[in-house]
Every structure is written in C-alpha cells, then in structure tokens.
Amino acid sequence: MKLHKIFLVFFAMALIIVACKKDDAPAVDNPIVKDETPYILKTGYFTAPNLPEDNPLTEQGVHLGKMLFFDKKLSEGESQACADCHRQPDGFSDTLKFSLGVEELEGKRQAMPIFNLAWHTNQFFWDGRANLLRDQSLLPIQDELEMNETLEDVIAKLSAEQIYRDQFTRAFGTSEITAEKMSLAMEQFMLSIVSNDSKYDKYLDGKLLLTDSEERGRVLFFQEYNPFFPFDSGADCEHCHGGNNFENDSYKNNGLDTDAEFLDMGRENVTMNAEDRAKFKVPSLRNVAVTPPYMHDGRFQTLEEVVDHYNEGIEESSTIDPTVLYTRSTGLFLTAQDKEDLVNFLKSLTDETFLNNEEYKSPF
C-alpha cells in the first residue's frame, strides 16, 4: 500500500514537471507570409489619385520600398542611398545644383523633389523619359553618374540578407528578390509621400489667416497678366502652376534661353520631336522655399531670382510657351513690394508636417 502511494506521488510530480516544461518552452515563431493589409493614402482634401491597379499600396510593400530607398546597398561600394540625393528636410530634393554620385561626379540636372507623385500623370524625370514611377526607380541605380551599380549586384546583396528575404515575402508572397519587385516596392513608397498640410492649406480650411503680404502675393499669383491695365495685372502663375498640386502635368519652355544658348534639349531627347526642344516638366511649387536651387539646371539660387526671371528676364526662342512669351514685351509690371509679397506667398506653401513626417523617415 505504501509503495502504491509513493508511486502516485512520483507520477503526479512527473506530470507537473512535464507541464512546466511545456509552459516554459519558447513559442514557435509565426511563419513569414504575405500580408496584404492596404496602405491608406492620406489624401486630405485632394481628389483621390488614380493609383496603379497592378501595384496596390500595402503596408508591407510601402515599408519595403522605404527600406530600399534608404539603403546604401543599392549603390556601388554601398556608399549612397536614394535618400542621400532626396532628403526629407529639403522636400526630398537636393540643395546642390547637381547631385554628386558615388564617384563624386555631378549629375546633369537638378534633383527633382519627391512628393505627391500619385497625382502626376505625365511621366517622370525632367524630360519624362520614365513612363511609370517604377521605371524611374531603377534608372538612378544603374546611372554611372549616380549610384553606378548593376541590378544583378543589388539583387545579390539583398538576397544575402534575411531581413530582405522576409520583407519581400511579406510584400509579395515569396522571398525571391527581383528587379521588378524592387521597382514595385519603391513605386509604392514614393506614391505614399504626400504633402497637403502647408500654411496655405490651413488657410483654405479656415484654420488660420495669411499675413497681409502673403494675401497680396496670393492675389498676384492667381491674377492674370493684363498689358492694357498694368495696375490690375497679376503675376499670371496659375496657368502653369495651378490646381491642388501647383503644376499642370505638362512640359514647357519657360524662356530661360534663346535657341543659340540651348545646352539641354530636354523633352526632345525623349520624343525626338523638335517642337519639344528645351521643354521640361513643370514642377510643383509646393515646398518650393525649401527646394533650391531652381530650374532644371539649378541656375537660380533664390525665389527672388526666379520672380525676376519671369518679371523681366524672359528670352525668346522657337519653342517658348506662348503664355510666357506674351508677357515678354512689357514684363509683369511687378514692383519691389509685389515681388516680396509673391515670394512670401510661395513660402506659405511649405508643409512642415510633410517635412517632419515620421512615416517617411529611415526605417533603419
């Protein structure tokens, strides 16, 4: 009888020990699987953009694109990331006239800012040579003046990292890394970058007032040029820089040079059409105060220089935009006060929320 009781005691203890071991055993990690949770684009009062149906924004796809955007592995010698020439405090642009690549070589054009690309419908780069944003994303990697790397080498470097194999699985359902998936992820991240909370946006929403100078500048910005009534004539900016995004999805020659002075043929290099000679993509004026220098070749350092160009510096050429040419004979009639007011209005387009948004900062 005693032996039977002793056996029961030991049996009970054994069960307790086994149970404890099961409770103390480490949990098995959840398997890495595709996560299709949609990324909610914060469009604010903007009209919803036409996003690519074959590349819907997901939280994991956007995150992967951000990883790639900030990773120096995409360049030769792992010395430069996309974010080095497109810095968030500078409106995801570069304040150098021409960005420096991995070999310290200058690029050929000023780095364009990256925001609100979801609303761009006329290709990418100053000359529009990339039809889709996914096409644009891969070209700087392979450009010898920029990141100077092969896609094959980038894929090899990323494939060696478990963190990337896992993230490609979350985004695309497979750990296989390809150039196409890289481009789709970077497209998603760049499409997610939105700027729509400037002082001017708050003014439109009735949350605050513009200063007297900013208000005078706003009126000038949207008022048309009138050569017959100079005192009622405006700066006529809206023709090219209109709508919520302050651009017009077109290519223009804005009177920077005469035909004899053309150094960059711009859009013509893509279309092979002489009518596109020296025409360039019209950029958004949002955050323009933090994205100097200006124009495709960075020739102007300040907004004051830009205003002076349109007021009194237009050069005639064979492909100049007719609206710009129309003002050349008289200029815009802007006084010193007008110029100051116009610049102050342009500064009201700066979006501090966008410039400091944690969602767009490096994930590393």
Residues 64-92: pLDDT tens digits?
999 999 999 999 999 999 999 999 999 99
Tokens of 253: 């020659």
Q: How far is CA 349 from the centre of its chain?
A: 16
Q: Which residue has the higher pLDDT, 23 or 320?
A: 320
Q: Look at residues 240, 203, 231, 136 and name the one whose alpha carbon lies nearest to residue 344.
A: 203
- Both tokens assigned to 111: 């780095």
Are the beta carbons of 321 and 254 closer than 8 angstroms?
yes
**Mean pLDDT across 111-137:** 96
Q: What is the mean pLDDT of residues 332-342?
A: 98
Residue 7 pLDDT more than 80? no
Amino acid symbol at 195: S
* Local structure of residue 198 (DSSP, 8 states): S
Which pLDDT score is estimated for 30? Answer: 78
At 117, is the secondary structure helix, strand, or coil? Answer: helix
What number is the average pLDDT over the span 357-362? 98
Ramachandran quadrant class, 78 (left: phi over 0; alpha: psi -120 to 50; beta: rest): left
Which candidate, 40, 29, 2, 146, places its Cα nearest to that of 359?
40
* pLDDT above 90 (res 356): yes
- pTM to 2 decimal places: 0.90
